Structure 1
């Protein structure tokens, strides 16, 4: 029953966060920054190592190239149909955050946020949640 509650609440939060993603946001100091909002997901009940493993596994499942920079930070890149996105995933035992860093069209050189970035971000988060759910069943 605990697993079902965890899975359902995770899917609800992921869906809600994906719906709230926009192409601009305001930081804590009130300055405008460009790019999509970070997708933040709560993951209480897991160790930082388990969250890290799930981020790396979720990235692999969704064809992201993931690289651990240091504990708590993983950078990722995806290339789909000449569209590239670079992200930074910060994480702890309590949550992770997927933040857009840069991207664009590698052929034309434009640096606009790829049209499908929101979907890629959501699918990556879902893959991470699926990996965590598998760990919860063990």
Structure 2
């Protein structure tokens, strides 16, 4: 029984340490838009991708969209600056995502990278054309 207890304690320590690795540096997305899209087409691709990924997207001004993602009690807020030739997704704030010192829960990065992927797919499919 002594060996079993030691294994249980070792396993608990390993699981605890693995839980600490749930944060990663905040992803900053800066993408170039090709194929001669207009600013309106880029905006539509961003808004459609946000809708597909269940982000709440709000047009703040020409060239600026705010996004909000909420999953249970976790909230992420981003700002997307865009032109006809590029866009960037920037971290604004979060709630319950362990953000500290330029690091954040991996879920935030997954959400942002999936949003970026869908924006790219919408642009390549001619979203808003």
1:34-62 Cα deviation digits (max 9, x unpaired) = xx242011102211000000000000000
Aligned residues: 100
In structure 2, which of residues 49, 69, 80 is the aligned counterpart of residue 78 of structure 1? 69
Moved runs in structure 1, 4+ residues, more than 3 A?
A: none
Tell me, yes or no, if structure 1 residue 51 matches structure 2 residue 39: no
Contact kept, 8 Å, 2:80 with 2:87, in 1: the verdict is yes
- Kindly name which structure, 1 or 2, has the bigger radius of gyration based on alpha carbons: 2
CA distance in 2, matches of 1:71, 1:95: 14
The structure, 1 or 2, with the larger RCO (C-alpha pairs under 8 Å, 6+ apart) is 2
Tell me, yes or no, if structure 1 residue 128 matches structure 2 residue 114: no
Unaligned regions of 5+ residues in structure 2, if any? 1-23
Contact kept, 8 Å, 1:54 with 1:132, in 2: the verdict is yes
Unaligned regions of 5+ residues in structure 1, if any? 1-21, 24-35
Tell me, yes or no, if structure 1 residue 101 matches structure 2 residue 92: yes
Task: Output the TM-score relative to the length of structure 2.
Answer: 0.71
